[in-house]
Amino acid sequence: MPNPPLILGLESSCDDTAAAVLRGREVLSSVVMGQAELHRAFGGVVPEIAARAHAEKLDLCVADAVRQAGIALKDIDAIAVTSGPGLIGGVLSGVMLAKGLAAGLNRPLIGVNHLAGHALTPRLTDDLPFPYLMLLVSGGHCQFLIVRGPQEFTRLGGTIDDAPGEAFDKTARLLGLPQPGGPSVQAAAESGDETRFRFPRPLLDRPGCDLSFSGLKTALLRQRDGLIADHGGLHDRDIADLSAGFQAAVRDVLLEKTQRALAIYLAEASAQPGFAIAGGVAANAPLRAGLETLCADRGVTFSAPPLALCTDNAAMIAFAGGLLLAQGVQHDMTLSARPRWPLDAAAAPLVGSGKKGAKA
């Protein structure tokens, strides 16, 4: 096998169908086919619709990725696939296709944990040295991880209910702003007064790095309904102020918990400490600015992969697959799809976390 090998990655665990071809850290192609329009009318990802769309699009996605990489399918040295955690129908579609390709091409098959794909991306983009601290914040995930190696993760905490992206999306829906909610709430908040409405800062009174976001959405609903009852509707100023108040609460909670996670991580005294973010919410400007300042104050390298590699994609799966292959990991035709698969098996389960994609 050439070194580094040519790896085809497949991703289908939530609402993005993706395929990518990588050689080491070189991304030869990365194709992502989103499904947002299929789910729009339902206000969330519908698992059955997602599974069917993955089954319909995966082979087209692979064909595109292979063509864009300028290679032939037979040139692929190994196939890496997200085998969990996620929506079972989608994960199954990916695993079945990967098995077919591996059997047909007679190449190694590597099942990859989707969260490991996100967590290892700073190695792909910035060659960030192990161990680094990672904050995964998206529509389906929210957790702090110390990333020690391709298969070694320590989870310091995570959400016990909604993921922050979900909370942004629900907030947008309640305020009549377009989806995805993150960018539209951020835009509305720019002209808002974050102090006009009081939002809770959930779980700050408890020690540790766990988070909670479902109470924020309830607080927003109450404030909104109060305004509608008093004035018969929402003015643009109300929407801006509610957006700003909500966004500030999410920012404050994430910054405080990041300080705690950094303190735990830095106590291990890494010679070159690093902090990385991943997930769509990492695009939030006030949050990002706050995190950068925290890191700069502590002499910690800040890494934020470009958005296309921060959100769900298959390049991260191919890259993680390559790291596992180098460690001798290979799977056979008994590889199964795992709806739940925590990265840190020793950490207590996070009940109900990341409902959107049923992530671990």
- Binding stretches for ligand KG4 (CB under 6 A): 14, 138-140, 165, 168-169, 180-183, 186, 279-281, 283-284, 311-312
Q: What is the Cα–Cα distance from 143 to 46, expressed in whole angstroms?
A: 24
Instruction: Looking at residues 295 to 324 of the shown chain, list those that interact with Zn ion (rule: CB under 5 A).
Output: 312
Nearer to ligand KG4, 24 or 183 (CB): 183
Q: Which does 305 bind (CB under 5 to 8 A by kind): Zn ion, ligand KG4, none?
A: none
Q: Which does 9 bind (CB under 5 to 8 A by kind): ligand KG4, Zn ion, none?
A: none
CB 117 within 8 A of CB 46: no
Residue nearest to Zn ion (CB): 312
DSSP tag of 331: B
CB 8 within 8 A of CB 101: yes
Q: Which does 125 bind (CB under 5 to 8 A by kind): Zn ion, ligand KG4, none?
A: none
Burial 102-136 (b: 16+ CB within 10 A, else e): beebebbbbbbbbbbbbbbbbbbbbebebbbbbbb
Q: How far is the CB of 31 from Zn ion (least distance, A)?
A: 16
Q: What is the Cα–Cα distance from 44 to 41, expressed in whole angstroms?
A: 8
**Going along 152-259, which residue ranges are E strands?**
152-158
Q: Which does 186 bind (CB under 5 to 8 A by kind): ligand KG4, Zn ion, none?
A: ligand KG4
Q: How far is the CB of 142 from ligand KG4 (least distance, A)?
A: 10
Nearer to Zn ion, 125 or 243 (CB): 125
CB 291 within 8 A of CB 54: no
Q: How far is the CB of 138 from Zn ion (least distance, A)?
A: 5
Q: Which does 122 bind (CB under 5 to 8 A by kind): ligand KG4, Zn ion, none?
A: none
SS3 label, residue 270: coil
Nearer to Zn ion, 161 or 312 (CB): 312
Q: Which does 280 bind (CB under 5 to 8 A by kind): Zn ion, ligand KG4, none?
A: ligand KG4
Q: How far is the CB of 312 from Zn ion (least distance, A)?
A: 4
3-state secondary structure 10-72: EECCCCEEEEEEEECCEEEEEEEEECHHHHHHHCCCCHHHHHHHHHHHHHHHHHHHHHHHCCC
Which residues form the interface with Zn ion (CB under 5 A)?
312
